[in-house]
Amino acid sequence: MAEAKGVLLVKDRQIYVDTASSGAEEVWSKMCAGFESAGLSHNPVTSQHTFLCQSNAHTEVLGYAKQLGLSGVRYLGDPVNDLIAGMEDETGESAHIKILIVEVHPGDTTGKAKKWDATVEVSSEGGDGGGEVTIEATLHLNGEPTVGTFDLSTKKFTATT
């Protein structure tokens, strides 16, 4: 991967979703059509203590409860949009998907990637009469990610941890 400098664009932090049938080999489909915004919230989990002999608190970061907030319009026929929109009533294990967050620099053929188990929460779908159907969803990133690389041409993830 090339050493890049400058501003990282939103389009260079790509999100892929495994759209394969349950139990099948992973099929990584790029999140694009319909989704207009994807914001990663890190949500640190902290512990804070103020000891008897001190006036100021000590804070430790214990972990994170990461969430990927999505918003956009319903785009029929796109595998990622169809999968997420179709999960509006799912609960438990049925609400889980696999995602990759891949950082790609111009000229790269592979990107640094993190693979997550994610729980899909579709919070709203709808819109005004005569308008487009909008969708809002949150992907809750569960546990520790598997770190690796993602080949952009073969769409294969290779774990390094």
Write the single-letter amino acid at 149.
T
| pLDDT score recorded for residue 144 | 94
**81 three-state secondary structure:** helix
Does this model's pTM top 0.75? My answer is: yes
The pLDDT profile of the chain, 161 residues, written as one tens digit per residue, is 446 677 777 777 899 999 987 777 889 999 988 888 889 899 999 999 998 898 999 999 999 999 999 999 999 999 999 999 999 999 999 999 999 999 988 888 889 999 999 999 999 888 888 889 899 999 999 999 999 999 999 999 999 97
**Domain limits of the chain?**
11-49+57-99+118-143
Q: Which residues pair with 40 in a beta bridge?
A: 68
50 backbone dihedrals φ, ψ, rounded to 5°: -115, 115
Rg (CA), the chain: 18
